[in-house]
Structure 1
Amino acid sequence: MPRTFAYVGCRTTRERNAEGTGIGVYAVFASGAWQHVQTLEPLVNPSFLALNRSQDVLYAVHGDGSTVSAYRIDPSSGLLSALNSQSCEGRNPVHLAVSRDGSSLVVAGYATGTATRVALQEDGSLGAPFLPPLEFPGEPGPHGVEQASSHPHHVARYVTRRFDTDWHIVPDKGLDTVFTVRWTGDGSAVVRAARCREGAGPRHAAFHPELPLIYVANELDSTITTLSFDTSTGELMPLKTVSVIPSDFHALTRTAGIAVAPDGRRLYVTNRGHDSVATVQLDEQTGLPHAIDWTSANGQCPRFLCLSPNGREMYVANENSHSIVQYEIDIDTGLPVPTGRVIKTGSPVCIVFATIEE
């Protein structure tokens, strides 16, 4: 019988006012209950995580630093053991994704405005980075502090039920631009770009499961932008931008995590400040947003959210209240409903699930 494990990344440093210590490992049961089985520690800011295709190696970027690490997953227990670490040739790595052919790991360097490919060995360990890192061109946005230069925040590979491509989608918060990147056989990169609204601050992206659409959470102006995507050429076209905060809310708030329901009828995005999850209804024919509801995040600073492997539960990682809140997705409305289960853990910022065959 397959077993499911959840791996939780976190912040650990005093500079981040953090209470995490390392990567948390939890057994996840069919009932929805979680059981803590390991914290791999001490680690410094193992913030965002990614699995290889066979789900036997976990990768982590170390936020605010310049390294990425690989960990072996034990097939019987789900426990982690260290393989190795490697420089990612970029400061403050914030996201990572395995390439389509599994030969490299792509890492976004937020502070240096770069994307670096790090070679993967046959055993899943990290090899040397391919140099030089890719830099992103463009004019910075108007925000003097958060848009002084290029700040790529996401490098997810574009893969859905319908498409399996080697394009990586890179929202750049500093340049108000969403890039698509594909590396060729000789190591050069094909790069396309689509500009978002001035001051939007694109952060993270999610994909429609069937339609060639990309949804981008814009951090600075609390909106989402829907873009069409040509999977052959990598071209993007912005279609619609909508706010994901109530019209009568005027305090400081920022979007963060984003996910699309498996049936493509809704997307979900977190608001830090408003401390909510926005449920955005999507038109069944066009995939465009048309109505929004809000649910409390039941915590402070919901930096991340994701759906369970079966799509029936949602998990919201509240960084500043040190909790992961579980919700059940209502079958009729698609709205998240709190189940009462709360996993207490220090400064959580990412969750990935691995399903392991015993």
Structure 2
Amino acid sequence: MTIQRRDFSKGLAAAAALASAPAIAAVPRRAHALYTATGSVMAWRSLNTVSGVSGEVGSITLPSPIQYAWPHPDGRFLYVATSDAPGGSVGGGSIHRLVALKIGHGGALSPHGEPAVLSQRPVHMSVDPSGHYALCAYNAPANLSVHTIRPDGRLGEMVAQGEKLDLGIYAHQIRMMPGGKSVLLVTRGNNASVTKPEDPGALKIFDFDHGHLHNAQSIAVGGRGGLGYGPRHVDFHPYLPIAYVAIERQNQLHTHRILGAHLAPEPELILSTTDQPPQNANGAATLVGAIHVHPHGHALYVSNRASATVEVDGRKVFAGGDNSIAVFALHPRTGLPKLVQRIDPRGFHVRSFAISPDGRMLAAASMVDMPLREGGVTPAGLSLFRIQPDGTLAFLRKIDTPVGKEAQLWTAILPVPA
């Protein structure tokens, strides 16, 4: 089959792990909106997080293609990083912006103040839990910036950094650590090519003081200075001091203990996210993508993604690899993960997926339209899954969103303001 349709459990051991998951209390229902970014267009539609039924689509066009977005903790604003630089490029592009949007009736978005002008492509951004700062990560060359957020939600000034920061190679995510006293920059590095050697990856941690950053810790797992180590994204347990790191270039999940404002330098546990090699016989890569912990802390989700093509009879078609959402049960006391399911998103290259704040639904955004070896094209789309009480996923429906030459880079499910 050209699409690997896996939805399996690991038998009695996995069942035992899931049986130990905490009971999930009933969550009051709220109206939600499903957001997705394709090119420069941010679209939204109402979403019932129980049935998966969605409403009519609205949209707003931003200054340049959308790279990532993050809501304000009060739920009234959305901050969006945009750039016209080609993905993965070193330099390039001329329109790089950080945009504040107001979330209104039904989830509709409207501009909120003037965008901040950025100097290069922002690959990721986030907002600290206090809602006072927006953080941006830039991939090539690796960089970061900190921007103030005014009390009315508009963007303020960029905070000048007085210290030369250790920024690593190919930054891909920036997050405030739990407790708000440090910032984690995930730097992926790069695989070797025919023209240059491998670039090492690392986790860079900075102490945080009112927007100012100070070098604190550099973690390169494996004892080779970051070679053979390619972290992409991190997420945190909601109540245990644990960080989970998705390792893109090695298709792994690493579990680190949080020690105060920093991390244990070596992972307590390393697991594979897929049974596929990072590169198959056709040269096609399977790569780890996004990672999210369920808001109740009993499950964790990682996307495996593949979208390389090979020419067959004059057509470029899918070259193989694993497209799946890997589901890990998290032990209620230790927080250690155990792989219990991989499920097919019915699309290709899930760069972004989202869990609804009420914990009931997962939406996976496949990034590209994909020609198939047997004929036809599978369009990009939004695949909706019901999250079962044990954290495993049950497919509900797919909303096809053909993208043509664009790419569907980001999605979120957010509660609609009352």
Q: Secondary structure at the match of 2:173?
A: coil
Match of 2:408 in 1: 348
What is the aligned partner in structure 1 of residue 355 from structure 2? Answer: 307
User: 1:190 Cα deviation (Å)?
Assistant: 4.7
User: What's the CA shift for 1:314?
Assistant: 1.1
Residue 102 in structure 1 maps to residue 131 in structure 2 = yes
> Which residue of 2 is the match for residue 254 of structure 1?
287
2:385 paired residue among 319, 324, 327: 327
Seen in structure 2, the aligned counterparts of structure 1 residues 345 and 2 have a Cα distance that, compared at 3 Å, is farther
Give the Å deviation of 1:340.
Answer: 2.1
Deviation per CA, 1:322-347, whole angstroms, max 9, x where unpaired?
A: 21100112334x32121124252633
Cα deviation 1:237-286 (Å, max 9, x = unaligned)? 32222211116785221110111123333211111121111112333332
Residue 117 of structure 2 aligns with which residue?
87
Asked if 1:279 corresponds to 2:279, the answer is: no
| Amino acid across the alignment from 1:176 | G
Partner of 2:176: 157
Check if 1:216 corresponds to 2:245.
yes
Q: Distance in 2 between matches of 1:258 and 1:86?
A: 28
Partners of 1:318 and 1:303 lie apart in 2 by 7
AA of the residue aligned to 1:258? I
C-alpha RMSD of matched pairs (Å): 2.5
Taking only the aligned residue pairs, the percentage that are identical comes to 21
The CA deviation at 1:292 is 4.2
Change in Cα spacing, 1:67 to 1:42, as seen in structure 2 (3 Å) is: closer
Whole-Å Cα distance in 1 between the matches of residues 165 and 254 of structure 2? 20
CA distance in 2, matches of 1:185, 1:294: 41
In 2, the alpha carbon distance for the partners of 1:170 and 1:343 equals 34
Give the 3-state SS of the residue equivalent to 1:350 in structure 2: strand
* Bigger relative contact order (CA 8 A; separation at least 6): 2
Structure 2: gaps of 5 or more residues: 1-28, 86-92, 190-199, 307-321, 370-379
Q: 1:71 aligns with which of 65, 84, 101?
A: 101
- CA distance in 2 between counterparts of 1:101 and 1:259 reads 20
Matched, 1:6 2:39: no
Once the two structures are superposed, the pairs formed by residues 42-53 of structure 1 within 5 Å of their partners are: 43-53=63-73
- Cα distance change on mapping 1:291 and 1:32 into 2, 3 Å: closer
CA positional deviation for 1:233 = 3.6
In the TM superposition, what whole-angstrom CA distance separates every residue of 1:30-53 from its partner, at most 9, and x where no partner exists? 533222341102542112111112
1:170 corresponds to 2:185: yes
Q: Which amino acid aligns with 1:254?
A: L
The residue aligned with 1:57 is 77
Does structure 2 conserve the Cα–Cα contact (< 8 Å) formed by 1:88 and 1:118? no
Answering whether residue 300 of structure 2 is matched by residue 267 of structure 1, we say: yes
Q: Is the 8 A contact 1:117 1:130 kept in 2?
A: yes
Q: Tell me what 1:142 maps to.
A: none
Of 194, 197, 204 in structure 1, the residue corresponding to residue 219 of structure 2 is 194
Q: Output the TM-score relative to the length of structure 1.
A: 0.84
**Which residue identity lines up with residue 305 of structure 1 in the other structure?**
F
Q: Which runs of 5+ in 1 are unaligned?
A: 13-20, 139-148
More strand by share: 1
